[in-house]
Amino acid sequence: MPALRPGALPAAFAIAWTWASSPAQDPSGPPLPGTEPLTLTGDIASRLVDGVDRFLLRELERSVERRARHWKRDLSSHEAYERSVESNRKRLAHILGVRDPRVPFDGLEYVATTARPSLLARGESYEVHAVRWPAFGDVHGEGLLLEPVGRKPLAQVVAIPDADLTPEQVCGLADGVPTESRYAAWLAAQGCRVVVPVLIDRRMATRKPGGGGAELTSREFIYRSAFELGRHLIGYEVQKVLAAVDWMAKRPEPEARRIGVAGWGEGGLIALFAAALDSRIAAACANGCFDDRRNVWQEPIDRNVFGLLDELGDAELASLIAPRALVVEAARGPELVLPGKGGAPARLVTPRIEDVRSEVERARALVKGLEPAPRIELIESGDGKGPFGTPEALRKLLEALTGGKVELVAPVPFVRALEEGPDPAARQARQLHELDRHNQALLAESPYVRAEITKRLDTSSLEKYERSSEELRRFFREEVIGWFEEKPLPPSPRTRKAYEGAGWTGYEVVLDVFPGVIAYGVLLLPADLKPGEKRPTVVCQHGLEGRPEHVIRGDQAAYHDFAAKLAERGFITFAPQNLYLFGDRFRTLQRKANPLKKTLFSIIAPQHQQIVDWLETLEHVDAKRIAFYGLSYGGKTAMRVPALVTDYCLSICSADFNEWVWKNASTRSPYSYVWTGEYEIFEFDLGSTFNYAEMAALIAPRPFMVERGHFDGVAPDEAVGYEFAKVRFLYAARLGVGDRCEIEWFVGPHTIHGKGTFAFLHRHLGWPKR
């Protein structure tokens, strides 16, 4: 699949410069004693990002063979098999965000007004009604019901259209779908009761109230908040389908046993997930969507499921449906390109027939030996690019549901009851509003959910606190940030002299981390170091689109050369190159990492661990006095990396600390990332686990400080103060080390202030002021 096109530039409040490269590089610059010469030329930061990209693509390829470690299939009987995969089913529900209890109900609601009845049309043997039904919270499914008239239903099917099709189109009440692909109408013509839900569409729009901000699809708009809160648009739509299944399961026998799901494109994926989760669904039909899924990072971001490919591809989903029946139709799928006007650039293409065949064969192999053999059928429409929802695929579905031969009859034209049915735009707006409202209710509840996490911490003494925080740190590392099992390589340091400053010398440094992955930065050594002398070190981290040079020279507006100024005060400093530069080149790294249950910080944290481990070997570095100080995206790093890399003895978060979950999930706040181009910024389930106060709790009892300008556009003062108050309470009231926790407020913008923070470093690192 070809590479993505570049998307939008970073959004407001980002620190972004366009300096093209590192300092003028002299490959002959002398190395540090004890290191090899650094001979790389060109843009080392670009090499770093490219290396991580190749590493993640390799990991995606390797994910297929690694999935077996999550499965313990018992093929001795159908009952034993179902029990053996139950834990996998629960994990799938968790990552899809299928967590909210569904609302019980007795019957679908007809959608009617005094001006319009629910009855929209009559077929030869069925009626079409506008309906809705409770799903979860205050959220409803909505769409059409095709109800047999004068006969009992042959079976019951939830027929799910693609996101950019309406229920009316797959029923034949509106144009846009060829007759042979109107699968809801075909199913109804065979005597099935059919429920056709509407999905959230892919319409592009500027979502920010008052205009401005990124252009997002409707699906990405809902996805952004939901992902941060441990939910997912896919999970929401699966819940709507399963709520309809709840109702169907209450029907008399044998209807209650003959429940199926079928869908095309996005609807096919929802059908796959729903059938994988709910064993009441006797058979599923997925049209134009079944694939090996390793290119999911190029698909619309609302398909980004954290950790999916670590455990499940489509073959594994099929194995969760087994021993029930699955019909896969290789057919033309939705095809589109999303340009990335602040939202995530993406493309959808029809799955290659070779990939569909291979994935179906893999699914069959996973359940080989289970008797009776599960029914996994492959129907090829044309060369895999033919019409979808063909009668042959539907016949296979109905035979699986009824257990007998089925001869299909073509649907006859409707007799319309109304000239015009429900307004699709108004229905879509209702669905969007309900899901957004649900997300915002979860956001309001999230502090109480996170409070349960920190109850695990024992604050009765510092020693007990540190012991109790280890389990929470492990959870943060493995379940939130994501951690590669890959053992780091020996660092093999390569260095060269690259800078001369007022009282210090700078060396470029490259270290190996993983195969093809390096750490890169600049080490500043004060000129007055004496043989054998040990000094404190401050790791000075740049922000978005930044480089080590920006914190060293040029007096950049936000940085003010703070690494160099600290070196002038006698500190050793190190300025690492972090991953977040080159726009979409780094943002798609997050897209590649997330399906593996990883994030950008799954690379950044090991890079920092390698940096710290190497710094500790240097003659003049005091291993117990290595501090972290980062601005903006470097401030994000200050919250996450020292929480994991405990060699950092303190952390300073500048121009970033705030109520982070609110900033990512709110659709009311003008400060929210929901409106901006940082589509990679959202981290799965922080709402239920770690806001900045909880991350700071993993830094505690080490010293922690926030540097905050009143006019910083990251967030308003009250959001910063609200979150910091929780941190201060932990340090001062619970742990009795209030002197280790500070915030400096100053009149200024998104910038290093370098007053209170410098004093904080001198005090806690035990280095006299000069």
Spatial separation of the C-alpha atoms in residues 687 and 698, rounded to whole Å: 17
Tokens of 223: 């996805």
* 3-class SS of residue 214: coil
Contact predicate 189/411, CB 8 Å: yes
**Res 25: pLDDT:** 55
* Bridge partners, 704 (sequence order): 651, 741
Express each pLDDT in 308-326 by its tens digit: 999 999 999 999 999 999 9
pLDDT exceeding 70 applies to what percent of the chain?
Answer: 96
Give 523-538 as a DSSP string: EEEETT--TT--EEEE
Place 1 in a pLDDT band, splitting at 50, 70 and 90: very low
Sign of CA dihedral 615, 619, 625, 628: negative
Spatial separation of the C-alpha atoms in residues 385 and 377, rounded to whole Å: 17
Decide: residue 275, CB within 10 A, 0-12 exposed, 13-18 middle, 19+ buried. Answer: buried
**Res 255: pLDDT:** 83
**Res 415: pLDDT:** 77
Express each pLDDT in 13-42 by its tens digit: 333 333 333 454 566 689 999 999 999 999
Measured between its terminal Cα atoms, the distance across the chain in Å is: 58
| φ and ψ of 183, to 5 deg | -65, -30
Q: What share of the chain is helix, strand, coil (3-state, %, to 5)?
A: 40, 20, 40
Spatial separation of the C-alpha atoms in residues 654 and 752, rounded to whole Å: 7
Place 491 in a pLDDT band, splitting at 50, 70 and 90: very high
* Bridge partners, 746 (sequence order): 709
Tokens of 380: 């090829």
Contact predicate 239/102, CB 8 Å: yes
Contact predicate 625/602, CB 8 Å: no
Mean pLDDT of the chain: 94
Which of 229, 262, 241 shows the shortest CA–CA distance to 377?
262
Q: Report the DSSP pairing between strands 535-541 and 621-631.
A: parallel
**Res 410: pLDDT:** 87
Contact predicate 393/327, CB 8 Å: yes
Tokens of 618: 């240097």
- The DSSP 8-state label assigned to residue 657 in this structure reads -
**Res 19: pLDDT:** 34
Spatial separation of the C-alpha atoms in residues 658 and 649, rounded to whole Å: 22
Contact predicate 320/308, CB 8 Å: no
Tokens of 423: 């307004």
* Bridge partners, 215 (sequence order): 206, 342
**Res 12: pLDDT:** 31
Which of 186, 160, 324 shows the shortest CA–CA distance to 257?
324
- Map tokens 């309809």 to a residue: 244
Spatial separation of the C-alpha atoms in residues 359 and 658, rounded to whole Å: 45
State how far the alpha carbon of 66 is from the alpha carbons of 59, 360, 361, in Å.
Answer: 10, 18, 18
Q: Treating both helix axes as pointing N-terminal to C-terminal, what angle do 424-454 and 218-228 enclose, rounded to 10 degrees?
A: 10
Q: Treating both helix axes as pointing N-terminal to C-terminal, what angle do 233-249 and 266-277 enclose, rounded to 10 degrees?
A: 60
State how far the alpha carbon of 256 is from the alpha carbons of 244, 286, 354, 447, in Å.
Answer: 12, 21, 37, 41
- The DSSP 8-state label assigned to residue 377 in this structure reads E
Q: Is the peptide bond before 491 cis (omega within 30 degrees of 0)?
A: no
**Res 4: pLDDT:** 34
Express each pLDDT in 330-363 by its tens digit: 999 999 999 988 999 999 999 999 999 999 999 9
Question: Mean pLDDT over residues 79-83, rounded?
Answer: 97
Confidence check: pLDDT of 712 > 60: yes
Express each pLDDT in 390-437 by its tens digit: 999 999 999 999 999 989 998 887 777 666 778 999 999 999 999 999
Q: Identify the weakest region by mean pLDDT among 20-24, 246-250, 397-401, 687-691.
A: 20-24
Decide: residue 542, CB within 10 A, 0-12 exposed, 13-18 middle, 19+ buried. Answer: buried
Spatial separation of the C-alpha atoms in residues 725 and 307, rounded to whole Å: 33
Confidence check: pLDDT of 7 > 70: no
Decide: residue 466, CB within 10 A, 0-12 exposed, 13-18 middle, 19+ buried. Answer: middle
Decide: residue 258, CB within 10 A, 0-12 exposed, 13-18 middle, 19+ buried. Answer: buried
Confidence check: pLDDT of 735 > 60: yes
Confidence check: pLDDT of 272 > 60: yes
Q: Which amino acid type is present at position 57? A: L
Spatial separation of the C-alpha atoms in residues 657 and 721, rounded to whole Å: 9
**Spatial CB neighbours of 498, under 8 Å, sequence gap ≥ 6:** 22, 23, 25, 26, 29, 506, 507, 508, 522
* 3-class SS of residue 206: strand
pLDDT exceeding 90 applies to what percent of the chain?
Answer: 89
**Res 26: pLDDT:** 62
- The residue count of the chain comes to 770
Confidence check: pLDDT of 371 > 60: yes
Question: Mean pLDDT over residues 619-635, rounded?
Answer: 98
**Spatial CB neighbours of 301, under 8 Å, sequence gap ≥ 6:** 220, 223, 343, 344, 346, 591, 679
- Torsion angle of the four alpha carbons 485, 630, 611, 547, in this order, in degrees rounded to the nearest 10: 100
Contact predicate 398/391, CB 8 Å: no
Spatial separation of the C-alpha atoms in residues 131 and 247, rounded to whole Å: 13
Does this model's pTM top 0.75? My answer is yes
